[in-house]
Amino acid sequence: MAKKKLNEAPPIDYGDGRERMSPDIERKLGSQEHPLGAHQAFPDVDKDGIPDNFEELIASQRFKDVIQKVKDATGVENIDPQTFMSLQPMLMQAARRIMQIESQNRETLENLAVELVVNEMGIPEGDLQFDAKLEKPDMSGMQTKPQEKKKKKEEPQFPNFEMEDEAAKRLQKLDLEKQKRRFINSLIQGSAKKAHYMYHLVNEKLNEINPDLVGLYSIVMSVNDLMYWIMPDMEGMIGGGGAESAMAGKEELDLETDPPTIKATGLMFPILVHELYKGVMEYISAHGLPSDPEMADEVIGMEDTLPAEVWDLRLGPVIWEKFLEIYPDNFFDMEEQKRIKNYFYFKFVSLEAEEFLKLAKEILSGSQKGKDQVKKMVDDIVKQLKQEDYEDVSGEISEPEPTPVDTSQELDMDTILDKINKSGMESLTKAEKDFLYNL
């Protein structure tokens, strides 16, 4: 009986609150029928003998955070289907008032949004340029469903085990790259969702424009977050062609300009900040795509869809929080913290897919192994940046330290040639290659 009760316990932890997410969302979390379902980077979970999964744990945390923000912004203590109906008129009234205020301060707010993102993300002057527009975005042409694979011209089928092996390896690599991109997208959306609330960092400047703005933004942003959890099948609505009415922001990256341009459009200030922040994250994350352009296009076509973005916005904020928690204890005491953070993120997304997913899993689990790996990467970055700063000031370029030659074993031509014949050049050690090149 006790075991049966444990197995029947609800996997979503609502705590003492009476608020509940949509049964449709709860079911998808439990069955893992969503774009992030059973992701390779998610750690295994079996808490207190109750069968559950990592998605349900982070969804529980995120839902509680969203509910608390709504209560703080609106003053409504119990959020249930009945009270939610009263929140909708409050949301619409706040949105209309925001539009009135912002329409008279458009250029000031556009410039403030760019300034806020540049300062908060530590973007060096001249690295990027920005085109920020405070207006309703044009969502036409947005990808609402995964692209179908392009059919290749059929060729005569001959038994060729080598070709079959190559095809199998490519499919395996494609699957890893898709998993990697899916996780990166959750980091992009999760960090950018946090940026929805960055307006608090410029409270004083917003109060100078209008003292009602900050409170109005809090109502709109918190209730908007709540809708992601109580509206059933939001991703289905967007995938069915409802994107234009549901989305209030858009960003795109123009790599043809020098420097590259982040173009962002948002219906109101917090959304514009969110899109600018997301654009910068997209720019840095582009280094995480496969080096093969054809595979990169295939991965983007299958993973970068609006319905999948809904789930990234739901679960991504907690994934991003766990990503930040893994930094070394002394990280936030370091100079140029933002610069180091950008370098680390760049190096993390640039890892090969298999190595990336392994480290991502260690990070999400909060393991000591993950902490040690991240600390080593951060220490290497700090060392590298100090060296670069020294070279900039002194004008000297220091030569890299020579790699020590392994002399623990005798090197001879016959042994090395035999190894090449059996396993190819890639099987040689650094010492063996140096031996050949120095002959």
Residue scoring higher pLDDT (105 or 232): 105
- Going through 98-147 in order, the beta strands assigned E by DSSP cover 129-134
- Give the model's confidence band at 339: pLDDT under 50 very low, under 70 low, under 90 confident, else very high: confident
- Give the model's confidence band at 392: pLDDT under 50 very low, under 70 low, under 90 confident, else very high: low
- What does the block give as tokens for 258? 């020098």
Q: Residue 412: which residues within 8 A CB-CB, separation 6 or more?
A: none
Cα atoms in the Cβ-side hemisphere of radius 13 Å centred on 221 = 30
- How far apart, in Å, do the first and last CA atoms of the chain sit? 76
Q: Residue 371: is its pLDDT beyond 50?
A: yes
Q: Residue 144: which residues within 8 A CB-CB, separation 6 or more?
A: 238, 239, 240, 241, 243, 305, 306, 307
Q: Residue 2: is its pLDDT beyond 50?
A: no
Q: How far apart are CA 284 and CA 314, in angstroms?
A: 22
Give the H or E element holding residue 278.
helix 269-285
- Give the model's confidence band at 306: pLDDT under 50 very low, under 70 low, under 90 confident, else very high: confident
Weakest mean pLDDT among 116-120, 201-205, 332-336: 332-336
> 298-301: long-range contacts (C-beta < 8 A, 24 or more apart)?
298/149, 298/174, 299/174, 299/177, 299/178, 299/181, 300/181, 301/143, 301/146, 301/147
Q: In this prediction, what percent of the chain has a pLDDT beyond 70?
A: 76
Q: What are 307-318's pLDDT values in tens digits?
A: 899 999 999 999
Its sign, for the CA torsion 222, 225, 227, 230, is negative
pLDDT score at 192: 93
- What does the block give as tokens for 244? 């234009």
- What does the block give as tokens for 121? 């993300």
Q: What are 322-335's pLDDT values in tens digits?
A: 998 888 877 766 66
pLDDT score at 244: 46
Of 397, 333, 355, 401, the residue nearest 347 (C-alpha): 355
- Give the model's confidence band at 70: pLDDT under 50 very low, under 70 low, under 90 confident, else very high: very high
Weakest mean pLDDT among 142-156, 377-391, 420-434: 142-156
- Is the pTM above the cut of 0.85? no
CA torsion, ordered 206, 228, 241, 247, to nearest 10 deg: 10
Cis, bond preceding 35 (omega within 30 deg of 0) = no
Q: What are 404-415's pLDDT values in tens digits?
A: 444 444 566 666
Q: What are 257-273's pLDDT values in tens digits?
A: 999 999 999 999 999 99
Q: What is the average pLDDT across 230-252?
A: 70
pLDDT score at 335: 65
Q: Residue 200: is its pLDDT beyond 90?
A: yes
Q: How far apart are CA 409 and CA 134, in angstroms?
A: 67
β-pair type (261-266, 249-254): antiparallel
Residue 249: strand pairing partners: 266
pLDDT score at 9: 42
Give the H or E element holding residue 249.
strand 249-254
Its sign, for the CA torsion 325, 327, 333, 334, is negative
Q: What is the average pLDDT across 120-128?
A: 91
pLDDT score at 408: 41
Query: Rg (Cα) of the chain, in Å, rounded?
Result: 25
Average pLDDT, the chain: 83
Q: What are 137-193's pLDDT values in tens digits?
A: 876 655 555 655 555 445 555 556 667 778 888 899 999 999 999 999 999 999 999
Q: What is the average pLDDT across 51-72?
A: 91
Q: Residue 129: is its pLDDT beyond 80?
A: yes
